[in-house]
Chain A
Amino acid sequence: AQKVTQAQTEISVVEKEDVTLDCVYETRDTTYYLFWYKQPPSGELVFLIRRNSFDEQNEISGRYSWNFQKSTSSFNFTITASQVVDSAVYFCALVDYGQNFVFGPGTRLSVLP
């Protein structure tokens, strides 16, 4: 069965600090996709990144970067120089070959001014 674990329930950092959100997944499929979504207090899901299981290249997008390591089944997300606007709940998700989303429990990030 597929499973996504986000061990950090809540994280608080001070503005400008770097923060890494952990994501560990389980799947028996060899073809799968991993996602990160941001959910601000307003509730909508904001798509951040999609990565397929055959692409282990790390990605950087502005202050965001992702580290995908199949050897440890991890897909960690780092925010550099965090800002107050980054405060939100972040979900890691796995989409398996059956195309069903499995969401992690989420990490609530609070960036303090």
Chain B
Amino acid sequence: GAVVSQHPSRVICKSGTSVKIECRSLDFQATTMFWYRQFPKQSLMLMATSNEGSKATYEQGVEKDKFLINHASLTLSTLTVTSAHPEDSSFYICSARGTDIYNQPQHFGDGTRLSIL
């Protein structure tokens, strides 16, 4: 089945650091990728949707200058958390969707646990 690889699985870094998270679709072309954030004991909240070759669409309340999303190819999207602070610590999950939107669900990566000290 389709697989989405997310890397790294865990990041611990100092406040002020920028962190890049990669999301790759391994065996299908992901025309659309989604980025979610999950705070402890909460549900997944959509941050942004990105289509290959286009600017990402951000959900209300998500700072686009803080969370930079690049979807330059059909198999790779990146989320960069710029100048990360402790309040950015969270679990980030990407998902990818191919062209068959009615028969294929989104496929989720395994998530990245980000801890900012």
Contact = CB atoms under 8 A, between A and B. Distances in A.
Contact of A105 (B43, B49, B109): B43
B46 A43 contact: no
A103 interface: yes
Interface stretch (A17-25, A44-52, A68-76, A80-88): A44-52
Interface of chain A, main secondary structure: strand
A43 B44 contact: no
Nearest to A4: B43
B106 A101 contact: yes
A35 B110 CA distance: 17
B97 A43 contact: no
Contacts of A45: 93, 108, 111
A47 B105 contact: yes
Given A37-B108, A101-B95, 13 more contacts: A43-B91, A43-B110, A43-B113, A44-B110, A45-B108, A99-B32, A100-B34, A101-B34, A101-B46, A103-B44, A105-B43, A106-B42, A106-B43
